[in-house]
Structure 1
Amino acid sequence: MILPLKYIQHNDFNNEVITARSSGAQGQLLLAKVNLQNKLPRTKLTSPESACELSFLVARGRIFSLQRGTVASGAVAVAQQFAAWWLGQPDILATAPHRESVPCARGSMAAPARGSIDVSLVVVVHGGGASNISADRKERVREGIAKAATEGYKILKAGGSAVDAVEGAVTVLENDPEFNAGCGSVLNVKGDVEMDASIMDGRDLSAGAVSAVRCIANPTKLARLVMEKTPHCFLTGHGAEKFAADMGIPETPLEKLITERSKKHLEKEKLEKGAQKADCPKNSGTVGAVALDCKGNLAYATSTGGIVNKMVGRVGDSPCIGAGGYADNNVGAVSTTGHGESILKVNLARLALFHVEQGKTVDEAAELALNYMKSKLKGLGGLILVSKTGDWVAKWTSATMPWAAVKNGKLQAGIDLCDTKTMTMDLC
């Protein structure tokens, strides 16, 4: 929302507090862009850079970021002079907290708007939208999701591509039995594992996907081979497994993919079958990652074991391009999670990017897409999204969604609403 200066009132600037007022807008998230030359005729600033735009992100009465335009080096000084003139605190640029450190409603965690044309390295991962995560698992889940984000970022720091990074991050999650993918996959009605995965390169829209695969430890790696070694986008079942053998991917014994927790999960679900309402799907879990590399390329990867007690051959959204994820260098990259049938019906990933194309922020785009799915189909879920400029968000309507993100070397992770921790990142 763009407000003229006259609607921005400096009420009580104490401890970085400022109030934004407009008709019916008090307390809302407001983006006020102020042009120093045109909007502040009384200012004493005379430097040539005084025409740069300063953006204030005002929410709940706090300034979260002060961003300067991409002008000459004097812009910093101009911004400091402006802060001193209006707010009486010239060191605001150094003291104002970054937007991403502030908990947001409905699980949103957006990065600050970018103020330069330099591309930041960004990795965001999710561990699936879940109905609940038991207290004894939460720290293991948080550590696992942080480990995956760190792995993806290490790949980017070493000069790897966005595709390399999302594959590496998701592989970590597929190898962690705490997550519903790879060796932690839930079981179908016959007690078997059938996994789905997809990956996409935003440079040229190359994509690869597999579904209903068994005896493969890392379906995401197989999906990438489909993308790079075949003229196709999607292989399924026995055909995908034969292709894996042809590519030299070793067969993993089924017992190594089935955990005791998955067995108990299936038993419990069968006992409760019939009591669950059709509009309240449970056990919706997926893992995924999005990344922006040093060349400005975007990618996503999504992997899942599906839903517990599913019919043999059931395929959800995760391997479907546009639903389980999407990547386009001109817009952004998305990976989704939640009730697969609902995600498929609204093409959730592409829907979110459509809103970005229409000028929405990543936070707004994610919320619009998720709320549409919820209102239209009562479907719950979540998504992670990174834009071509490096802005990112993790948002969900399910009870929880483990997530982690690294940008500018800063690692953050969370599970529940307003549960965000800055963690130490091991880059060794």
Structure 2
Amino acid sequence: MGGWAIVVHGGAGVDPRLPEERQAAAKRILARCLEIGAAALSAGAAAVDVVEMVVRELETDPFFNSGRGSALTARGTVEMEASIMDGRDRRCGAVSGITTVKNPITLARRVMDFSPHSCQAIHGAEECAVEQGVELLENDYFITDQNLAMLKLAKEANAILFDYRVAADTCGASAGAAMSFDTGIQMNGLPISVYAPETVGCVVVDSTGGCAAATSTGGLMNKKCGRIGDSPIIGAGTYACDVCAVSCTGEGEAIIRATLARDVAAVMEYKGLGLQAAIDYVIKERLDGGKAGIIAVGKDGEVGYGFNSNGMFRGCATEDGFMEVGIWE
């Protein structure tokens, strides 16, 4: 194999009740992002530039859980997170606790390129955004009416609610009916009503063999303020090196414990596994009962993905003209 390749995801653990029109909308968004990335790669763009470009597109569309449309904290605010990594030299940038930055992934890129640090959070990250001149917006820009309704349901059920895209009127006539779907899954003792985080991510290998990864999220609906997930943690939600690039989605706490993204690269480097075999191995052996999804590319143009949840919004495209968008197995 060889040539450029791109894979995107819009979250793992899709609720089977998600209406067909919403599934179709998700596929259209992912296809559009693949086309944007493929056009840039065909024109010779570097992998790190393409992952930022594609994730910016996903952050701007309110369908997925990043940027505009981010899940809400227990206080009804957004606290966004993002990270980016360039595998050519393993430089990285990450931000957490962002409330006013239109595109958190671009701030993460600025942290990587223009600051002495790899990760900045909360007030320091917001100050960095001002210094770097990235676009800022009021918190209300990121909050949608649907998310406000779903936060209300989550509070009434005393649950962390993952699938905030299933509108209340498709779940049941009342909050109790909407939240009656019980997976039996818990996160640190709290019930998870529906498992579907919808973090977004992109991994790319460019025509020179350079790999890069980017991940962005609003986190969990009804999460405690100050909670940090896997998305801004290098090696957990995002990793890139000279072998591959990886972006993860799912139960952040389980992904952090597993250092999931780094483990894909590690078993390739130290066990000699191929890309897909490495993904399959870490999904099976490293999650300790947690639910997650992985997308990855290899330096030679391979693409791969895996998940142990109901489904994962994902799509891929390669230089030889192959393109695929899917949700279920």
Deviation of residue 412 (structure 1)?
1.1
Alignment partner of 2:216: what SS?
strand
Distance in 2 separating the partners of 1:416 and 1:271? 30
SS across alignment from 2:240:
strand
* 1:124 maps to 2:2: no
The two structures have a TM-score, normalised by structure 1, of 0.67
Q: Are 1:216 and 2:105 an aligned pair?
A: no
Query: Counterpart of 1:321 in 2: which secondary structure?
Result: coil
Map 1:23-422; keep pairs closer than 5 Å.
Answer: 114=1, 119-132=2-15, 133-273=18-158, 277-279=185-187, 281=192, 282-329=195-242, 331-357=243-269, 358-374=271-287, 376=288, 378-408=289-319, 409-417=321-329
Could you list the structure 1 runs, at least 4 aligned residues long, displaced by more than 6 angstroms after superposition. Answer: none
TM-score normalised by structure 2 residue count: 0.87
Q: Distance in 1 between matches of 2:66 and 2:128?
A: 20
Task: Return the alpha-carbon distance in structure 1 between the equivalents of residues 100 and 196 of structure 2.
Answer: 22
Contact 2:213–2:246 (CA<8 Å) still a contact in 1? yes
Aligned AA (2:205): L
Structure 2 residue identity aligned to 1:372: E
For residue 128 of structure 1, give the secondary structure of its aligned residue in structure 2.
strand
Task: Report if aligned partners of 1:210, 1:219 keep a CA contact under 8 Å in 2.
Answer: yes
Matched residue SS, 2:325: strand
Secondary structure at the counterpart of residue 312 of structure 2: coil
1:199 maps to amino acid: I
Larger Rg: 1
Indicate conservation of the 8 Å contact 1:333/1:385, yes or no: yes
Offset at residue 150 of structure 1 (A): 1.4
Q: Aligned equivalents of 1:400 and 1:135: distance in 2?
A: 14
Amino acid at match of 1:391: E
Structure 1 vs Structure 2 CA RMSD = 1.4
Q: Distance in 1 between matches of 2:41 and 2:101?
A: 26
Structure 2: distance between partners of 1:315 and 1:255: 21
Shift of 1:267: 1.4
The aligned counterpart of 1:46 is: none
How much has 1:277 moved relative to structure 2?
Answer: 4.1
Q: Distance in 2 between matches of 1:392 and 1:250?
A: 33
Post-superposition shift, 1:334? Answer: 0.3
Where structure 2 has 5 or more consecutive residues not aligned to the other structure, the ranges are 160-181
Deviation readout 1:132-178 (Å, 9 max, x if unpaired): 13323101000011111211111111111000110111111101111
Q: Deviations over 1:27-49 (max 9, x none)?
A: xxxxxxxxxxxxxxxxxxxxxxx
Other-structure match for 1:101: none
Deviation at 1:396, TM superposition (A): 0.9
Specify the alignment match of 2:165 in structure 1.
none
Paired residues, what number? 297
- Worse-superposed segment, 249-258 or 310-319: 249-258
Q: Is the CA contact 1:285–1:307 (under 8 Å) kept in the aligned structure 2?
A: no
